[in-house]
Structure 1
Amino acid sequence: MLLPVAAAAQPHPDPDWPCVQRYVPEIGAAALWPEAPGGDWQDDPGVAALVGRIAPRPVEAEQGLAAIRDFAAPLDAAARRRLLPLAFRGVLEETNRQRDAVIDQIRRYARRQHDLAGRVRELEAALRAAPPPAREELEQRRFFAAKTYADAERMLRYACEVPVRLEGRLGAYARAMQAAMPQG
């Protein structure tokens, strides 16, 4: 099992963060790469193409690792020293961009959940105070609101795993690129 990269970063407490995992706004290069990679990864067409192949969210780590091996295999030592750090930088930037989008979605979803929980509480209070003829409709409304809340809560737990999976894949990519670097 891969440990999340975010665990190595300094956490920033966020009271609105709904996930069990600690909130880390951005993954820093230092958490995964020995030296801060310099240069613009988009300037090299081969690196840009590699990042475009391996960085999208639907790409499984195994596919990305194979693409990294294929990219590094024909390179000489000097090209590996120059291009692999650029490729890491590109994947890091793209992963952080994707994480930002997912984190924003999780926060919006959590705010919606908070509002929905308030609505369920309001319906429960109204139900307790309602005369018998009005109870049936309120019971149905409360039932559906509570069901919607419970279903959404399960989805929120799933959504909280997306940044963890992105971090794990980034870590696997970083290890593969570092392993392909020439020694010495």
Structure 2
Amino acid sequence: MTRWALLLAALLPAVAAAQPQADPDWPCVQRLVPHLAAGVLWPGVPEGDWRAEPDVAALVARIAPRGVEEATGLAAIRDFAAPMGAPARRRLLPLAFTGTLAETNRQRDAIIEQLRRFARRQRDLAEQVRGLEAELRTAPAEAREELTQRHFFAAKSYTDAERTLRYACEAPVRLEARLGAYARALRAAMPPE
């Protein structure tokens, strides 16, 4: 073995230990980010209870649901901020961001848990398919027809579910992108200091 190969072999365990462990229940290509932090999208940490402000709570309820298109939410933010004076904007827009972030994280948590359940189900189905394949190899001729059908339907269920995986994995990404657009719109509506 060359000196470089020995060095690489010695370093690999340390490099592997430094890498974050993959979540076996995370089926998506995208890196799992369990929780979105305010500091990534907003300067400083907005303080206050967004639910205590009825207008802010109403805005968040209007723009945060998953089915709301980004353009609709951006228009609602503009309509919300337009009539306000500078002091109200400084106080309420950070709260609107906090509320939108909280609701986005709540929705993402639910989606992430659904994706994890999906991954566990797919692993179970894959195991079932492998088990049926093993049974088929050793089954007597009279049992093959039923086993073949069971194998076909299990494999089809697995394949059909895999086809939807890419779309399902985009759901958290779409929520993150929409939150980023909302944060930019809310920051743009903030008055200069």
Query: What TM-score does the superposition give when structure 1 sets the normalisation length?
Result: 0.91
SS in 1 for 2:44: coil
> Does residue 91 of the first structure (1) align with residue 135 of the second (2)?
no
Name the amino acid aligned to 1:122: G
Offset of residue 157 of structure 1: 2.2
Larger radius of gyration: 2
The answer for the alignment partner of 1:68 in structure 2 is 77
Counterpart pick for 1:79 among 73, 82, 88: 88
CA-based RMSD: 1.2
- Identity across the alignment (%): 72
Indicate if the aligned counterparts of 1:72 and 1:80 stay in contact, CA closer than 8 A: yes
Q: Does 1:27 align with 2:36?
A: yes
1:16 corresponds, among 16, 25, 29, to: 25
SS at match of 1:157: helix
Residue number among 169, 173, 182 corresponding to 1:160 in the alignment? 169
Do structure 1's residue 122 and structure 2's residue 138 form an aligned pair? no
Aligned pair count reads 174
Where does structure 1 differ by over 6 angstroms across 4 or more consecutive aligned residues? none
Output aligned runs, 1:100-115, within 5 Å: 100-115=109-124
CA change 1:124–1:95 in 2 (3 A) is same
Contact 2:25–2:117 (8 Å) recurs in 1: no
Residue type matched to 2:72 in 1?
A: Q
C-alpha offsets along residues 85-123 of structure 1, whole Å, 9 cap, x if unaligned?
000000000000000011111111110110010000000
Instruction: Name the aligned partner's letter for residue 37 of structure 2.
Output: G
For structure 1, which runs of at least 5 residues remain unmatched after alignment? 1-10
2:58 corresponds to:
49
2: CA distance, partners of 1:158 / 1:110: 14
TM-score for both structures, normalised by structure 2: 0.87
Partners of 1:92 and 1:25 in 2: how far apart?
13
State the 1:171 CA deviation: 0.3
